[in-house]
Amino acid sequence: MKGFTHFMSGVAVASFGPWAVEAALQGNPLFFVLGGACGILPDTIDFKFYRFFYHHDVYVEPDPNDLDPQYVADEFARAIAIAVDEKRYVNLKLSSVRLGADFWQQYSVKIDNETQEVLVKFGAVVNTGQVPVEGTENLHPAIARAPLKTKVVQTYDAALKVDIFDGPTLGFKPLEDGTLDLEFLPWHREWSHSLTMGAFLGLLWMVGAMLWAGLPGSPALAEGLSLFGAIKGMLGHLFSHYALAWQGFVTIAACYGVHVVEDQLGHMGSNIFYPITKLRTPGLQWMHSGDGLPNFLTVWISCLLIFWNLYRGQDQMSFHFTFIHLMMVGLVIPGVLFWALRKILTYGQTIKVHKGDDADDEWNEMKAAGA
């Protein structure tokens, strides 16, 4: 799902904690902030940090002054040869080609398993908005080819197209039958997308909260913490009770975990119990991360849940309603009306919706955000 959807899901999950609502009513939004932050944290870790430290075995860096598609094809084939010959996982980095402050050279890579070749073609020059510059579409008509040592299994729909900002990483994993499995963005949804990572971050919070509150019976520790008396004075009102430790743990683990659960509804999946599990668990394939309707419904339902939890957390209300009443008025009835109106407006029309891929959708969203 999209980043804002994950954010709202995290806030909604946080609102189920009675302590979060009580703190919010007293003017302290700490738990709601934690919920939203942890809801988007897994993707933030991957796209803003981890990908910059990820190890690559082969870098493909086309020269902007000498655009040679054959170089890209040969390096792609070399990475596959290394994976086959050494029988190990190989990471390939397809670097972007910057031509100016607002211009990028687009190129595409296609695997043809029938001829067992890789095909590379340089396309148009595009601006940062990924709009082709007029007159550059056919500047590089040549298509380079290079033979591959084995077939490459591509089980996703993400297009191997490189243009603005940063290029993608491809992982080649040897299979038992001698072929290779191609993984798009292998650094994405690894250890960061696991329930155990959420629990670990919750434990860090718990330890920090207990240290700020002070550990009885530990004079040495208390003496050490006295050096931070000024800071402790400013933040002491947040960490004055040990209850905040376990409340923060539950909030962080649950809100981080809802991101992992939502990603499992798609195709790519997540490494749910890292380090117990080493690989991604395939998703349920119910949706794609960029699909409009699932994202809208998740955000809308999150808003309704936040509203409900804030409502039931207040004692004196002049207007009373039940959860079923709220869902009927806020979700079911509008949903039926929307469905009926859509049917009327699109009667007799054939609507085709382009389906991307989880990794491809998130990658394009990240690039569009200027990362």
Categorize the per-residue pLDDT at 101 as very low, low, confident or very high, splitting at 50, 70 and 90.
confident
pLDDT for residue 221 = 41
Helix (H) or strand (E) segment spanning residue 19: helix 18-25
Distance CA 322, CA 340 (A): 26
> 173 - beta bridge partners?
181
**pLDDT tens digits, 307-353:** 999 998 888 778 888 999 999 999 999 999 999 998 898 887 776 65
Percent of the chain with pLDDT over 70: 85
257-313 pLDDT, tens digit per residue, is 999 999 999 888 899 999 998 888 888 888 888 788 899 999 999 999 999 999 988
**How does the average pLDDT of the chain come out, rounded?**
86
DSSP 75-103: HHHHHHHHHHHHTS-EEEEE--EEEETTE
Q: What is the DSSP letter of 332?
A: I
**Two tokens, residue 313:** 């957390």
| Mean pLDDT value across residues 81-108 | 94
**Could you give the dihedral angle defined by the CA atoms of residues 36, 39, 42 and 47, in that order, rounded to the nearest 10 degrees?**
-60
Q: Is the pLDDT of residue 355 over 90?
A: no
Instruction: Identify the CA nearest to 76 among candidates 220, 141, 172, 1.
Output: 172
SS3 171: strand
More confident residue, 242 or 261: 261
| pLDDT bracket for residue 97 (50, 70, 90) | very high
The whole-number pLDDT of residue 206 equals 86
How many CA atoms, within 13 angstroms, populate the side-chain half-sphere of residue 65?
Answer: 0
Residue 371: pLDDT over 70: no
Q: How far apart are CA 291 and CA 358, in angstroms?
A: 9
89: nearest Cα among 80, 97, 78, 102: 80
Output the six-digit token pair for 202: 């919750």
- Residue identified by tokens 């084995």 is 150
What pLDDT digit, counting tens, does each position of 192-233 carry? 999 999 999 999 998 887 777 655 444 444 444 444 554 555
Q: Which residue matches tokens 């299994």?
A: 153
d(CA 249, CA 261): 18
* Rg, Å, the chain Cα set: 25
Q: What is the pTM of this model?
A: 0.82
The pLDDT value given to residue 370? 57
Query: Would you place residue 368 in the very low, low, confident or very high pLDDT band (cuts 50, 70, 90)?
Result: low
Least confident range from 105-109, 172-176, 222-226: namely 222-226
Residue-level pLDDT at 316: 79
Residues in the chain, total:
371
